[in-house]
A and B are shown apart, each in its own frame.
Chain A
């Protein structure tokens, strides 16, 4: 005798309990207009369930949980198809060794629960229980307690009712919040939440998201519920949704065109792009960027290419395969990934454990500082990689070694004054980025004299492309006239940049010297400062203070302070910025050439960047704790904290990694990231040499 009825008259839990009490074996089919499902019983216990209503396939579940790879699933599906469905997919996966029987049972059980829960949410439909002597095909030996299913289903229904308060419809659209929720400093995300975040863009509805991730709308809705509660999501206006959808459609169209074009290019072999065609042969790890994408990215990454700047094809070192990462590399990579994936507290604890403390025997202060001060030669460590002085003097070779091409002489004529300043470098600074060479200068006073009076010795130390006419306009640095060997500022970064032809010349290096003995009249300084009308009042005050208080280092420069107060870079700039007897027009033209940068504070000696103050108390909360704060009781789940565990899959028994997410601190809060304290100057110099030798 069949058991038939309607869900409006009998709820599924009632039917379940009836079948269980009778200990029947058979299949319960539930049919509604747009879907149907079936639940198999063996002696009153559920052992299988399936439906065609937005269900997540077993294979997809396994892939999502990274139990099998997509390739393995594809192969198993091919076998399943080739066998005509004789064996179920799970059996194939087990027999082929992709998963164990235990894993299969775990996932099938979860699938059964999800399916039954989905069916339990149906408000209408006809059910029909057919008694069968045995059901062999679907029986893989699982047995799920009806009580557990009813309890779990009821709990989920309770969750669903709660979720519906914030996600009332599967047609709702969410977008990423423009700012984290108030009071949110740290948010822990799980992979499923992360995956959804990637897709929540203000264009997809909850239902579309579920289809995109091949999950149920309940699963998606409860994740969205948590994200929305944590303030990570917002509900966009209808107008915004329309706009975002239009933008998305345009992007998709553009991407489709690009894909079509790329496919066309790949079909028609291009003999001229040898490097590009060889790139796919590079062995890449599984997680790498596909070679075709890497190659395609090159045109977008190409430099401007104007002015003779080479626009090379795929460089050899990129197209030729690098060595695969070693175990140590993978260990570091994994360690960092774990730092991202582990909960914050655990990650912080690991960091504390793993970070070696600063070695007390080698405090940074006691580390020799070669070339940074007037130490004696004995105090200055001789670094074995130090180039010879002669080598350092060869500016062209030096620049060539660094891969920086010297501009042609004609270019210099066309450049702005400040650009000329950058190009016209005192040759002595060419080796200033080589601390060991500077160390040697202390041992060779005769040569040191050359180094410290670069402008005076300009005839001896070629200026490369600088015309002599320009050189004549560049006065000698005033310090050089009165000072003997003051210092050779090893590692003077700004000077190094100038030597290498890199970067701009920082303003603070351009400006200090006008206050020296060749300082123009106050009215002209005001005129210079007037060009910085956009500068703040503090800048102006600083400017005024700088010109009123700063001593003239040229006249009475204490020898021991010279290395600190005036770098060679400043000297070099002073040549142009504040020439002896230099015309006001020179200064004005220089200031004008600085353009908008000058507006930030001409004549102001910029202070060091303030990177924040010390340690900041790491105040943060996690999503779970955040949500646990506002509701601690009620509901079948026994509190929102428990619910969150269920919401995030904690109740499945499967360990899931979480992603630690740290939020941006509030303005004014000090930095929390600090330099690696285990690195001292000696090690840093070793690293520098290693990079140079690369």
Chain B
């Protein structure tokens, strides 16, 4: 059984868990913890360790999705979770401008740490909203060479499109 790993990362409360849930065949295993006071605002829970989802490609190939904790204070886990990944998707909530700086930091971290292809997915952005995409790209100082894809993390097809975007980028990098 060949298993490959794709990392789903992004700032706190960007929608990583929802993203994985949207396409995972299994109930997503999450090591969640009730948000403590230190975790700040947002939803009632946050990912402390990781989310874990599965997509069966064939009888002998399985794609696993690993979600990282979004808070910078857990950034030291990103590397451990990301070892041996095929690529990663960095999700940023396009409506949460306060998280853009965190997204920039995460991009910088992964670019520093890794040589794997990645794409950035702007959550809560309609597929045709080019202006918002451009605004997000500028806000997070994303290089033009890195694709910025719109996504609705709740929509299975939308999440699929992002994963395909990442996979094609990986395919492209194999040339």
Contacts and interface: CB of A to CB of B under 8 A. Distances in A.
Interface of A: 176, 187, 197-201, 203, 248, 251-252, 254, 258, 282-285, 287-290, 293, 296-298, 300-304, 306-309, 312, 314-315, 317-318, 321-326, 328-330, 332-333, 336-337, 339-340, 347, 351, 355, 364, 369, 372, 402-405, 407, 411, 415-416, 418-419, 422-423, 433, 435, 491-494, 496-497, 500-504, 506-508, 595-597, 600, 606-609, 611-612, 660-665, 667, 669, 671-676, 678-681, 683-692, 694
11 contacts: A284-B27, A301-B123, A304-B125, A322-B27, A324-B27, A403-B160, A433-B168, A508-B144, A673-B116, A678-B4, A680-B174
Nearest to B163: A691
Contacts of A252: 37
Contact of A418 (B18, B48, B130): B130
A554 to B, nearest CB: 23
Contact of B61 (A309, A355, A686): A686
Contact of A198 (B48, B75, B76): B48
Nearest to A500: B161
Interface in B124-175: 124-134, 137-138, 143-150, 152-158, 160-161, 163-165, 167-175
A659 B105 CA distance: 23
B32 A289 contact: yes
Interface string B35-67: 011111111110011101011111001111010
Contact of A690 (B49, B61, B84): B61
Given A435-B171, A503-B148, A673-B113, 18 more contacts: A198-B48, A201-B38, A283-B27, A298-B154, A303-B125, A324-B26, A329-B26, A351-B84, A372-B175, A503-B165, A664-B109, A673-B83, A673-B85, A675-B86, A676-B4, A684-B171, A687-B167, A692-B164
* Closest 8 A/B residue pairs (Cβ): A403-B157, A690-B57, A201-B38, A309-B126, A673-B114, A611-B115, A303-B124, A507-B144
Interface string B89-117: 00000110000000000000111111111
B5 A199 contact: no
Contacts of B22: 315, 317-318
A297 B44 contact: yes
Most buried by A among B26, B30, B32, B132: B26
Nearest to B77: A340
Given A203-B37, A663-B76, A676-B84, A606 B28 contact: no
Contacts of B95: 304
B79 A679 contact: no
Contacts of A600: 144
B76 A288 contact: no
A355 B21 CA distance: 27
Most buried by B among A251, A660, A676: A676
Most buried by B among A369, A402, A507: A402
A491 B172 contact: yes
B87 interface: yes
Contacts of A612: 111-115
A335 to B, nearest CB: 10
B80 A339 contact: yes
A685 B114 contact: no
Interface of B: 1-5, 13, 15, 17-18, 21-33, 36-45, 48-50, 52, 54-58, 61-64, 66, 73, 75-77, 79-87, 94-95, 109-117, 123-134, 137-138, 143-150, 152-158, 160-161, 163-165, 167-175
Contacts of B161: 402-404, 500, 502
A356 to B, nearest CB: 9
B16 to A, nearest CB: 10
Contacts of A609: 111, 143, 145-146
Given A288-B32, A402-B157, A491-B171, A674 B63 contact: no
A679 B174 CA distance: 10
A301 B18 contact: yes
Given A176-B73, A297-B44, A686 B58 contact: yes
B23 A694 contact: yes
Contact of B149 (A309, A503, A673, A681): A503
A504 B126 contact: no
A321 to B, nearest CB: 7
B54 A336 contact: no
Most buried by B among A339, A497, A680: A497
Contacts of B30: 287-289
B160 to A, nearest CB: 6
A689 B61 CA distance: 12
